[in-house]
Each structure stands twice: as C-alpha cells, then as structure tokens.
Structure 1
C-alpha cells in the first residue's frame, strides 16, 4: 500500500519550505485575491446603494402623495367618467359619471362624530370629495380622499387599528355623503347611506372612502359594509341592488388613480 507524498516535499521526498512558490503561482494568487475582494466589496456596496435608494424612493412617494390635493387636477383624482370592468354583481361592467365635486375643505362636516374622532388625530390637511351616479342614474356614490398630516408610522398605526378592531365594518363609523343640489344626489343624506368602504393607506398619508345609496332618496335603516353587501347570496336590499359593488368599485378605482399619479410624479428621466 502506498500513500501520496505530503505537500511540502520535492520529488525525492526531501522537505522544502511550504511558502516557496513559483513566480507565476504568486502572480495568479494575487490576481485572484484582488478580484475576490473587488467582487465582495462591489456586491456589498451595490446592496447598500439599492437599499438606500428604495428607502428614499418610498419616502419621496409618500411625500408626493401628500401634496397631490393641490398639485394634481381634479379631473385626474376624480375623472369625469370611470369604468369598472367586472366591478358589478356577477362581474358585470360598470360605468360611473361624476355629477358633482365638493369644494375642498376640512373634515368638520364630512364625518359623524365617532369617525371624526378617529381621523382628526392624523390631521386633516385637506378633504376632497366627488359624487358619481351609475349609467342608469339609479344609484349615487360619494368618494372621498382625506389627505392627512400624518407620517408613515401614524398611518400604519391607524391602519393596524382598523384591521384589528374591524373598524371598517362598524355601522357607527360610516362617512357622510356629499349631496349636491340640482343633481341626482340632491337627496343623498345621512339617512340614505346604504353601503360603504373605507381604507387607511400606509404608503400615502391618505384615507380613501366611498358611500353609496339610491338616487331616489329612499332611506336605509342599517347600512352595510361593502364586503357584506357583495357576498354571494346576500338578500338585503342594498346587496340586491349592487350598492356594495358601487362603493367598493369606485373607492378602488379612485385609489388606483391616486397611486398612478404618485408613480408618474416620482418617475425620474432615464
């Protein structure tokens, strides 16, 4: 049985210093060392830069969203016509037409006391509202964008509370509609609220909501959260009329438009 010669011995099995290498071996080793250090350092720097850029980008987008109430035309925040493919009951398409835009203002008259108490601590920088009707002019829906003074942590805190306590489903926390004179929404008051949706955004200092009802001014004893009114097999009048779909569909599309404008505003030229 034979064994390979241990490293450090020459062809005649005479020992030699382990550090002895040929000049070519030394050069090759040095090149590998330089390349390895460069790659590791580059990767670390790239990772740091990428993380820094993402964080700054998120901060920038949050700030841009907060200023949209005075930087973006109302027709972009609340388009004159909104289309909702598959947004109605049974995935039916919807078309909504804007019939009124409220003067921008504060939160004093837009919310019932309990809901106002939840939102006011965020700060009411500006409240924008518009009311839409469906293609048949049977339903009316007010959509609102509440721009707050809160930072990202404040928005995340309230969003977490809404989620934990299911505040978006409490019938004593329904936003008020905007009833504009001489429109299909003229009789759309607090007693006509049939379904609603509300979302506290965490990537923008904005609360988005929508509340829907009938255009004929009929009263509703107990409004429904949009998700309940949209459930398959729901038999209440608001659910049968598709008013949950009206509220959720419009709220979602206004929110998407807001996000699209934030993305456009923060794009950097290549």
Structure 2
C-alpha cells in the first residue's frame, strides 16, 4: 500500500529540495557601510548599467574621510567668514590709504575743491557784502610785538575798481600775467590812531596754473620783498589816513594765494604823515635784530596782522560759497 502510483489518492508529496535558487541580479553599488573606495581609482565592481566599470573619486569636503557623518557647518563657515572679513578690512585699508595719500599730496584740492574755489571766487567781489570781505573791526589777538593784542578800525573803503593806477608801474608789470578782474581796498587805523594800513584784495583772471606760476615767481625771485614793488596806499580825505601817501609807506606784505585767484596785500605807515626813507618788508620789520623805524614802531606787525585776518576771512567766505 506504500507503493501507490503517482497522482493517486494517498500518494506522497515530492521531496523538498535544499538547494537555494541561483542569484540572477548583479551586485548593488557599495553603500555607506562599505569601505570607501580609494580616492582617484577605478572601482571595477559591476554597476547597475551594462556591467561597465564606474569611476569613484574622493567624497566631497563636506564629508569626513573616516565616517559618513556630516561635518559641523561651523567647521567650514568660520574659516570662510574670517577670510571674507580679512579681505573687507584689507580693502577698506587700501581705500583709506588712497584717500589719505590724496589729502597729503593735495590731489583732492587739485581735482575738486580748488576748481570750485576758482569758480566761486571771481564772483565774490560783487556778490558778498564789503563788510564780510573787509570787516569794520579786526581783532588781532597776539598780533602785536611780543605777542601783544591789537585791534584795528576801518576808516575808509575804496570803491571797487580796476587795477589802473592802483600799483606802481613795476608792480603792475609783475602782476600783469595774472590779469586784473577787480580790486577792493580799505584803510584801517590802530587803537591809538597813530598807525594806518591799507589792505587790498586783487581778484585776478588767472586759473590755477597761472596763479601757481605767479606765486612761484614772487617766491623764487623775492618780488614780495623788493621796496620798488610795494603796493600803494589808499588815503581818504577827512580821515586819519588823509596824509597816507606813497612817501609814508613803511612796511608791507604781499601774498599770492595758492588755492584761489587772489593776491592779498597790506601796506602800513604813520598816521601823522611822516615820510619813511628806509621801508622794510614785514618779515624783516618783525625781526628782533633791527633798529629801523618800521621795526621799532611795530609797523611790520600792523601790515602782517591785518593782511592775515583779511585773508582768513576771505577763505571762510570762499568755503561758504562752495557749500551754497
């Protein structure tokens, strides 16, 4: 009964085979748990394509070489941020250095403010009140001999004019290259009314190069110290300066401005009309080793003190006009 035929009732089932089915798929690509391939080498393990080899390079820098764990973000952000900050600081330093260099060498004046100063200065003689150019009262703290304080009162203002007959012929010839746009003048007296000083502002027609050439010539040739190139006075009738003529000129100063088309000057003398035979330029009359009348009377300080304050006021006026 144990030998019943196949397919009949009570037949035994066929025996179970122990053999596993054969692998029919290709090996998958390595996972993160597998050992990483060598950088820059060719992995010959069959890939999922047509069994062709594929190239495996190093993992991106975002990964650690020994684990599959991501590197902390700060590990690569901080160095880059530090480098960016260093570049920014370096750039600002270079810009600041360039700006400072241009300040020190005067490039900014040559290309910016100097040009605007030349543009506005030629208008000042008729657009600015005379009291701003030639104030009624000038204060001279420390402007006298030995640092003594001085003050000066304006006694007369000349009508603005051309330069015709305003200077001696030789001085007119020296100033001619710059041209004469307008001349404004006033005469002051000191607190004791014993000294008188005429101050003038000559507005020229020259540009920056012309003024620079004129300034260089006056400086190199000493034209501002020659007695035959003294500016003329402005005597005004019925004032303390009525007798202040050419013969009364005792000391003077003249300055060719480097940053504006202006020549500023002042000439001083005695209010009593006495003639002076040995006039001296202000720098010499202000020296301590001279016995001349201009030096002993402090007339060099008078001319220099008044001219400096009028010049400073002019610079402030130009600055305001530039900002307007």
TM-score in terms of structure 1 length:
0.84
Match of 1:116 in 2: 172
Structure 1 range deviating more: 230-239 or 50-59: 50-59
Match of 2:242 in 1: 186
Q: State the alpha-carbon separation in 1 of the partners of residues 174 and 276 from structure 2.
A: 24
1:254 to 2:293 alignment? no
Query: Does structure 1 conserve the Cα–Cα contact (< 8 Å) formed by 2:114 and 2:260?
Result: no
Q: State the alpha-carbon separation in 2 of the partners of residues 97 and 194 from structure 1.
A: 19
1:142 to 2:207 alignment? no
Gaps in structure 1 of 5+ consecutive residues: 1-11
Task: Report how far residue 28 of structure 1 moved.
Answer: 7.0
Q: State the alpha-carbon separation in 2 of the partners of residues 34 and 87 from structure 1.
A: 53
Q: Deviations over 1:229-263 (max 9, x none)?
A: 11013211111111000000000000000011112
Q: State the alpha-carbon separation in 2 of the partners of residues 191 and 155 from structure 1.
A: 30
Match of 1:59 in 2: 115
Mark the CA change 1:129 to 1:26 in structure 2 (over 3 Å): closer, same or farther. closer
Task: Report how far residue 61 of structure 1 moved.
Answer: 2.1
Q: State the alpha-carbon separation in 2 of the partners of residues 53 and 230 from structure 1.
A: 35
Aligned length: 255
Task: Report how far residue 94 of structure 1 moved.
Answer: 0.6
Higher RCO (C-alpha 8 Å, min separation 6): 1
- Of 182, 186, 207, which aligns to 1:130? 186
Q: State the alpha-carbon separation in 1 of the partners of residues 85 and 285 from structure 2.
A: 66
Q: State the alpha-carbon separation in 1 of the partners of residues 235 and 289 from structure 2.
A: 31
Query: Does structure 2 conserve the Cα–Cα contact (< 8 Å) formed by 1:63 and 1:204?
Result: no
Match of 1:22 in 2: 61
Mark the CA change 1:241 to 1:29 in structure 2 (over 3 Å): closer, same or farther. closer
Q: State the alpha-carbon separation in 2 of the partners of residues 138 and 37 from structure 1.
A: 65
TM-score in terms of structure 2 length:
0.71
- Of 252, 271, 277, which aligns to 1:221? 277
Mark the CA change 1:41 to 1:231 in structure 2 (over 3 Å): closer, same or farther. closer
Gaps in structure 2 of 5+ consecutive residues: 1-35, 42-56, 63-72
Q: State the alpha-carbon separation in 2 of the partners of residues 61 and 31 from structure 1.
A: 45
1:166 to 2:166 alignment? no
Q: State the alpha-carbon separation in 1 of the partners of residues 195 and 311 from structure 2.
A: 20
Q: State the alpha-carbon separation in 1 of the partners of residues 108 and 95 from structure 2.
A: 14
Aligned residue runs from structure 1 range 17-96, under 5 A? 21-23=60-62, 36=87, 40=91, 55-96=111-152
Q: State the alpha-carbon separation in 1 of the partners of residues 190 and 232 from structure 2.
A: 19
Whichever of the two has the greater Rg, that structure is 2
Query: Does structure 1 conserve the Cα–Cα contact (< 8 Å) formed by 2:39 and 2:58?
Result: no
Query: Does structure 1 conserve the Cα–Cα contact (< 8 Å) formed by 2:252 and 2:265?
Result: yes
Q: Secondary structure at the match of 2:238?
A: coil
Q: State the alpha-carbon separation in 2 of the partners of residues 114 and 169 from structure 1.
A: 13
Mark the CA change 1:39 to 1:108 in structure 2 (over 3 Å): closer, same or farther. same
Q: Deviations over 1:50-99 (max 9, x none)?
A: 96976322311232222211121100111101010011111111110000
Q: Secondary structure at the match of 1:103?
A: strand
